[in-house]
A and B are shown apart, each in its own frame.
Chain A
Amino acid sequence: MNNSVRNTARLTWAALRALLVLTVVTGVIYPLAVWAVAQTAFHNQANGDQVTVNGKVVGSSLLGQNFNLPLRKGQTTPAPDPKWFQPRPSVAGSGGYDPTASGASNLGPTNPKLAQTIEQRRAQVAVFNGVSLSAVPVDAVTASGSGLDPDISPQYAQIQVDRVAKARHLPVAEVDKLVQEHTNGREFGILGEPTVNVLKLNIALQKLAG
C-alpha cells in the first residue's frame, strides 16, 4: 500500500516534470523561434498584411470590412454605400465584419429562416445594383464561414460595376477595367475559386476617383 502510494507520487512527479520541460520546448521556444523568423523574413504577412492609405492603416487585406453609409435616425441596420463595392453578407458580430466575433450563421440547409434570409438578400442585392434576381450570384446571398471573408466572386463584382460607376460619376469601362485587374484566378490554376479582394479594389477605386 505504502509502496504503491510512493510509486504513484514518483510517477506523477516525473509526469509533471515532463510536462513542464515540454512546455518550455513547444510552448515557449518553438513559438518564439517562429515569431523571430516571421518578423524578420515575413514582417508584412506576420502582422496581418496591413494596408495603408496616405500613411494610415485602413485594414488588413485578409479581413473583410463593411462599406456602409452612416446610420441614419430610425435605422437599426445601416444601408450599403453605393459608392463602394460591397462585400458578402457577414454574421460576425451584430453589424457584420467584426473580428472580435468571427463565425458563421450555422443555420441548416432546410431551415426556413435561412431560406427566407437568402430570398431577402437576393431581392436587396438585385434592387441595389439594378440587376435581375437571377443575375445575383451565390456568394452575394450567403454569409461566409469566418464572417470576415475579404473576397467576393468576379460575378458579384461584375454586377456592381454599373452602380459604382454611376454613384461616382466614372466611366463604366474604367471601373470595369479595375475589376478585371483585381480578379485573381484559382491558385496554381486548380486550388479554390476565383476571387476579387474587396478592400484592395475599393482602395484602387478611391484612387481612380481622386
Chain B
Amino acid sequence: MPIAAGAVGSMSPICADVLQVTALIVALALVYRPFGDYMAAVFASPKHLRVERWIYKAIGADPDAQMRWTAYLRGVLAFSAVSVLFLYLLQRVQNHLPGSLGFSAVSPAQAFNTAMSFVTNTNWQSYSGETTMGHVVQTGGLAVQNFVSAAVGIAVAIALVRGFARSRTGDLGNFWADLVRCVVRILLPGSFIAAIVLVACGAIQDFGTWHHLTTLAGDQQAMPVGGVASQEAIKEFGTNGGGYFNANSAHPFENPNAFTNFFEIFLILVIPFSLTRTFGTMVGSVKQGYAILAAMGIIWLIFVIFMSWSEFAHPGAALHAAGGAMEGKEQRFGVGSSSLFATSTTLTSTGAVNSFHSSFSAFGGGIALLGIMLGEIAPGGTGSGLYGMLIMAIIAVFIAGLMVGHTPEYLDKKIGSREIKFAASYILITPALVLIFTAIAMALPTPIHSAANPGPHGFSEVLYAYTSAANNNGSAFAGLNANTDWFNTTIGICMALGRFLPMVFVLALAGSLAEQQPVPATAGTLRTEKPLFAGLLVGTVLIVTALTFFPALALGPLAEGLS
C-alpha cells in the first residue's frame, strides 16, 4: 500500500522502528487470549471432526486410546523416522517426478541433510531452492514437513503440559490425535488465511515453468515460479524457516513488501507466545502462563533493542565505509525491519531470514547467535519453545529451592531427583553437540576451507552452523559453503540429536510428573505465577547460556566486535 512520500514527513528510521515494534506487540497481545484458549480447546476437546475420523481410519489408529510416555515417544519417533526416509527418497528420485523443472536427483549427502533438516523443524538449507528443488519435492515433500514437524513439536509440548495437569496416571494423551488435530484445526486454517494474505500482497503461487523474458534494457532474465505463498505461510507460522528460494524471505517473491514482512514476523511469533496461554489454561491457572510469557517477552524485547541498536550504530570497518549496515539488507525493509526479523527468527526456531546475518555488525551477528544459544525459548519454536522454557522453569525452581532449603515444587508437582535429572540432561544436550562438533570441525584441516571470511568471522560461521543445527534454528552465516560431505553429514546428525534426544527427556519428565500425587502448596512454596519468578527465570536462562557459551562467543563475534 504505497503512501506518498510527503504524507509520511521525515520520521526518523529509529522512530518508525519503535512504532513498528509497538504495533507488533499490540497485534500479538490482541490474539493472545482467543488464540491461546482456542488451542487449549483443540487439545482438550472430546469430539472428533469428520475429516479427522476419516484420517484416523486411514492411519488405523484409535484417537481415544491413552498413551503412556513411552508409547507417545514411540509414535513421535516412528512418524519422524518414516518422514526422513520418505523425504530422502523423494529427493533421490526427483529426476523421475513430474514438475521437477528439469532438476536432477539430489545427491545422497545433501538429500540426507535436507531430510533431517525439514523433519526436525530446523530447515537448514545446504541447497539453493531455485536450482535444486522442483514443484513436487517443494510442495509435496518439504512443505508437508513444515506442517507435520511443527505439529510434532506442539504435540510434545502438550504432552508435557498434560504431565503437569494430570495426577496419578501415566497417560499423556494420544500422539496421533494431537498430531492430526494440530494440523487440521490450527496449522491448516491459519496457513490458508496467511497464504491468501501473502498472495494478495504479491507472493507468487504459480505451478507453471520459469518465464523467460527480455528486460527493459534488452537483457535476458528468467522469472521463477512455484507454490511460494502456500509454503511461505506455513514456513513462518510453523517456525520452520526453509526458504523456497536461496534468498529466503529477502526474496521479493517470498516477502514482497514491508507489510508482508511485518505480517511474517507476526506469524513467526504468534503460536510460540500464545502457547503460554494454552499452557496456563490447561494447568488451571492462566497466571502461570503469564509468568512464562513475561520471561519470554522480556528476553525477546531486550534482544530486539540490542540488535536494533547495534545495527543502527553499524560498527565495523566495512559498514562504516558504507555509512550504514545495509549490506545484505533490502531497501524496502531497511535496518529496523531487518533487525526485528533477525531477532524474531533466531529467538524462535524459525531461521528464515529477510537479511543476511553474516553481514550484520559483529555484535548484531553475535546477538543472533546468542539468541539461538538460549535454546530457542524466547518464545522459541512451535511447541519446542514452550517445553524448553518449562524445563528452564524447573531448573529455576530447583535453584530457588536450594537457596531456601525447601524441596522444590512446580505447579503442585514435586521436583525430585528424577525430574531434575531429566531436566539437566535436556539442557546439556544442545551445548554438548554445538561445542563438540565445532571443536572437531576446527581441529580438522579441511572444514574451515568452507568459510568465506577470514579471522574470527570464519570461526563464527562454523560455530553458527552447529549452533543453528543443534538448536533446530536453520539460519546461517551463509558465507559458509555447507554443501560438502562433512558439513552435510555432521550437521544432519546434529539436527537429529538436537531434536529427538531432548524430546525423550521431555516425555520422560511428562510421564514422571503425571504419575505423581499433587502436593498442596504451603507457605514455603515458591509462587511461580508472580513477577519475582519471571525475573528469576530470565536470570536463569541468561546465566546458564552465558556460562556455557561465553568462551566460544569470545573467540568469534566478541573478538571481531572488539578488534
Chain A residues within CB distance 8 Å of chain B: 8, 11-23, 25-28, 30-31, 33-35, 37-39, 41-42, 45-50, 53, 56-60, 62-63, 65-68, 70, 81, 84, 88, 92, 97-112, 114-115, 118-119, 122, 137-139, 141-154, 180, 183-195, 199, 202-203, 206
Task: Assess the B191–A191 pair: CB atoms within 8 A.
Answer: no
Task: Assess the B223–A65 pair: CB atoms within 8 A.
Answer: no
Query: Which 7 A-B pairs have CB atoms at the shortest separation, nearest pair first?
Result: A192-B258, A109-B316, A193-B334, A145-B250, A106-B479, A185-B8, A138-B324
Task: Assess the A100–B130 pair: CB atoms within 8 A.
Answer: yes
Partner of A191, one of B83, B195, B231, B261: B261
Partner of A145, one of B5, B202, B247, B324: B247
How long is the Cα–Cα vector from A202 to B214 in the complex, in angstroms? Answer: 15
With known contacts A19-B82, A110-B457, A34–B131 Cβ distance under 8 A: no
Task: Assess the B227–A31 pair: CB atoms within 8 A.
Answer: yes
At the interface, yes or no: B109 with Cβ under 8 Å from chain A?
Answer: no
Interface mask (B315-353 → A, CB under 8 Å = 1, otherwise 0) = 111110111111111111110111000000000000001
Partner of A59, one of B221, B225, B454: B221
What chain B residues lie within 8 Å of A28 (beta carbons)? 139-140
Interface mask (B354-395 → A, CB under 8 Å = 1, otherwise 0) = 111011111001000000000000000000000000000000
With known contacts A46-B229, A48-B206, A141-B322, A180–B5 Cβ distance under 8 A: yes
What chain A residues lie within 8 Å of B452 (beta carbons)? 106-107
How long is the Cα–Cα vector from A42 to B211 in the complex, in angstroms? Answer: 18
Partner of B216, one of A48, A114, A203: A203
Partner of B362, one of A12, A21, A53, A110: A110
With known contacts A18-B59, A195-B331, A145–B144 Cβ distance under 8 A: no
Task: Assess the A103–B319 pair: CB atoms within 8 A.
Answer: no
Q: Which of A137, A185, A192 has the most CB of B within 10 A?
A: A192
What chain A residues lie within 8 Å of B460 (beta carbons)? 108
Task: Assess the A187–B330 pair: CB atoms within 8 A.
Answer: no
Task: Assess the B360–A109 pair: CB atoms within 8 A.
Answer: yes
How far is the CB of A186 from the nearest CB of chain B, in Å?
Answer: 6
Residue of B nearest to A29 (CB): B188
How far is the CB of B165 from the nearest CB of chain A, in Å?
Answer: 26
What chain B residues lie within 8 Å of A138 (beta carbons)? 322-324, 326
What chain A residues lie within 8 Å of B477 (beta carbons)? 106
Q: Which of B15-23, B271-279, B407-415, B488-496 contacts A (4 or more CB under 8 A)?
A: B15-23
How far is the CB of A209 from the nearest CB of chain B, in Å?
Answer: 12
Residue of B nearest to A16 (CB): B82
Q: Which of B79-98 contact A (CB under 8 A)?
A: 79, 81-83, 86
Task: Assess the B20–A190 pair: CB atoms within 8 A.
Answer: yes
Partner of A108, one of B314, B330, B332, B359: B359
Task: Assess the B323–A137 pair: CB atoms within 8 A.
Answer: yes
At the interface, yes or no: B438 with Cβ under 8 Å from chain A?
Answer: no
At the interface, yes or no: B124 with Cβ under 8 Å from chain A?
Answer: no
Partner of B327, one of A100, A142, A184: A142
What chain B residues lie within 8 Å of A106 (beta carbons)? 328, 356, 358-359, 452-453, 477-479
At the interface, yes or no: B203 with Cβ under 8 Å from chain A?
Answer: yes
Task: Assess the A27–B5 pair: CB atoms within 8 A.
Answer: no
Partner of A65, one of B184, B211, B219, B319: B219
How long is the Cα–Cα vector from A156 to B3 in the complex, in angstroms? Answer: 19
How long is the Cα–Cα vector from A189 to B258 in the complex, in angstroms? Answer: 11
Task: Assess the B221–A142 pair: CB atoms within 8 A.
Answer: no
How long is the Cα–Cα vector from A27 to B324 in the complex, in angstroms? Answer: 42
CB<8 Å pairs between A and B, sample of 25: A18-B59, A27-B141, A34-B192, A34-B199, A35-B230, A58-B215, A59-B221, A99-B224, A106-B478, A109-B362, A112-B317, A112-B318, A115-B318, A142-B327, A144-B330, A145-B247, A145-B330, A149-B332, A153-B331, A187-B259, A190-B23, A191-B20, A191-B258, A192-B258, A202-B216
How far is the CB of B55 from the nearest CB of chain A, in Å?
Answer: 5
Partner of B183, one of A20, A22, A99, A153: A22
At the interface, yes or no: B423 with Cβ under 8 Å from chain A?
Answer: no
With known contacts A142-B329, A184-B5, A68–B222 Cβ distance under 8 A: no
With known contacts A109-B325, A111-B457, A193-B332, A187–B179 Cβ distance under 8 A: no
Majority SS at the chain A contact face: mixed
What chain A residues lie within 8 Å of B437 (beta carbons)? none
Task: Assess the A139–B230 pair: CB atoms within 8 A.
Answer: no
What chain B residues lie within 8 Å of A66 (beta carbons)? 215, 217, 219
Residue of B nearest to A134 (CB): B323
How far is the CB of A60 from the nearest CB of chain B, in Å?
Answer: 6
Partner of A192, one of B61, B316, B337, B358: B337
How far is the CB of A160 from the nearest CB of chain B, in Å?
Answer: 14
How far is the CB of B405 from the nearest CB of chain A, in Å?
Answer: 46
How long is the Cα–Cα vector from A210 to B389 in the complex, in angstroms? Answer: 63
How long is the Cα–Cα vector from A114 to B455 in the complex, in angstroms? Answer: 14
How long is the Cα–Cα vector from A33 to B484 in the complex, in angstroms? Answer: 38
Task: Assess the B183–A26 pair: CB atoms within 8 A.
Answer: yes
What chain B residues lie within 8 Å of A100 (beta carbons)? 130-131, 222, 224
Partner of A104, one of B58, B229, B328: B328
Partner of B144, one of A23, A111, A199: A23
Residue of B nearest to A180 (CB): B5
At the interface, yes or no: B75 with Cβ under 8 Å from chain A?
Answer: yes
Task: Assess the B331–A14 pair: CB atoms within 8 A.
Answer: no
At the interface, yes or no: B483 with Cβ under 8 Å from chain A?
Answer: no
What chain B residues lie within 8 Å of A143 (beta carbons)? 327-328
What chain A residues lie within 8 Å of B326 (beta carbons)? 138-139, 142
Known: A31-B139, A185-B5. 7 other contacts (CB 8 A): A31-B231, A37-B196, A59-B216, A144-B331, A146-B250, A148-B251, A184-B2
Task: Assess the B205–A103 pair: CB atoms within 8 A.
Answer: no
Task: Assess the B217–A67 pair: CB atoms within 8 A.
Answer: yes
With known contacts A31-B230, A109-B325, A22–B148 Cβ distance under 8 A: yes
Task: Assess the B204–A46 pair: CB atoms within 8 A.
Answer: yes
Task: Assess the A148–B247 pair: CB atoms within 8 A.
Answer: yes
How long is the Cα–Cα vector from A46 to B206 in the complex, in angstroms? Answer: 6
Partner of A186, one of B60, B176, B258: B258
What chain B residues lie within 8 Å of A186 (beta carbons)? 3, 8, 11, 16, 258
